[in-house]
Amino acid sequence: MTDDVNSAREVARTNLKATVISALLGCAGVVLAAWIGSTVGRSRAQDAAKTTEARQDTQLAEKDKVIAQLRSENQGLRQQLASLSAGAVDGGPIPGNATTPAQNMQHNEEFSFTLQRCSHRGESVNCTFTVVAERRDNRVILWGSSRLIDDAGKEWLASAISLAGRDHHVERYTAVDNDLVRGVIISGTITFEGAPATLKATPLIEFVASGGNVQFRGVPIA
């Protein structure tokens, strides 16, 4: 009888140990699975972050290339315009028009204006010029508040403006406009009525224009 009890107790202990060991192994498996899942998740997240970072680096590099190209093109355009201006001032030839007299070129944010010649016409001063859109197709606007100033500071406002062959009488608050195609030069004239015939030069002619005013200084008047 005693031996049977002892055997039963031994079997019970063995079963308990087996249950405990099984439970421990189950817990360990859960922990191990959780750890593996966490590790894999972190690895995938790191890989995704690296991929995103690489993509962003590529995009930034492409943007830098575009910016560098635009800067290079802008610098080249500025050098070309400076060369044209220098050639005009020195009396050198102007590409496409070798007979053009000495000129004065000024720029604002959108356009390049070239003052070609100013001369007396009766009781007014008439100036010829050209204008070109540098960056894009654009509408140029010239206002009647454009002015000519003499050495004493007296000013004469524009009385008439012509663009691309179209003549317009203007006042201080009226304007003339024309749609320009980028790189295509158009001609124009601006008239300052009432300037005396004794005026042989002007310290300032100012065009009030879209894109910013442009000024021509020390302009002779024939």
User: Is pLDDT above 90 for 184?
Assistant: yes
Which pLDDT belongs to residue 5?
Answer: 55
Residue 8 φ then ψ, to 5°: -65, -45
> For the residues 3-14, what does the mean pLDDT come to?
63
Query: CA 117, 176, 170, 215: dihedral to nearest 10 degrees?
Result: -40
DSSP code per residue over 89-155: HTT--BTTBTT----EEEE-SSEEEEEEEEEEETTEEEEEEEEEESSSSEEEEEETT-EEE-TTS-E
Q: What is the pLDDT of residues 142-182, one digit of tens each?
A: 999 999 999 999 999 999 999 988 889 999 999 999 999 99
> For the residues 200-218, what does the mean pLDDT come to?
95
Residue in the structure block whose two tokens are 């001609």:
187
Q: What is the pLDDT of residues 56-102, one digit of tens each?
A: 776 765 665 545 455 545 554 454 454 444 444 444 433 333 333 43
Identify which has the larger pLDDT, 5 or 47. 47
Sequence-distant (≥ 6) Cβ neighbours of residue 142 within 8 angstroms? 158, 161, 163, 175, 176, 177, 188, 190, 207, 208, 209
pLDDT band at 7 (very low <50, low <70, confident <90, very high): low
**185, 182, 161, 23: which is closest to 110 by C-alpha?**
182
pLDDT band at 17 (very low <50, low <70, confident <90, very high): low
Domain 104-220 carries which CATH code?
A: 2.60.40
Do 146 and 208 meet the contact criterion of CB atoms below 8 Å apart?
yes
Alpha carbon distance 102, 16 (integer Å): 111
Q: Residue 22, Cβ neighbours under 10 Å: how many? A: 10
Residue 28 φ then ψ, to 5°: -60, -40
Spans of all domains in the chain: 1-99, 104-220
Element (H, E) at 36: helix 2-89
Which pLDDT belongs to residue 165?
Answer: 86
Q: What is the pLDDT of residues 110-124, one digit of tens each?
A: 999 999 999 999 889
Alpha carbon distance 37, 166 (integer Å): 79
Which pLDDT belongs to residue 194?
Answer: 92
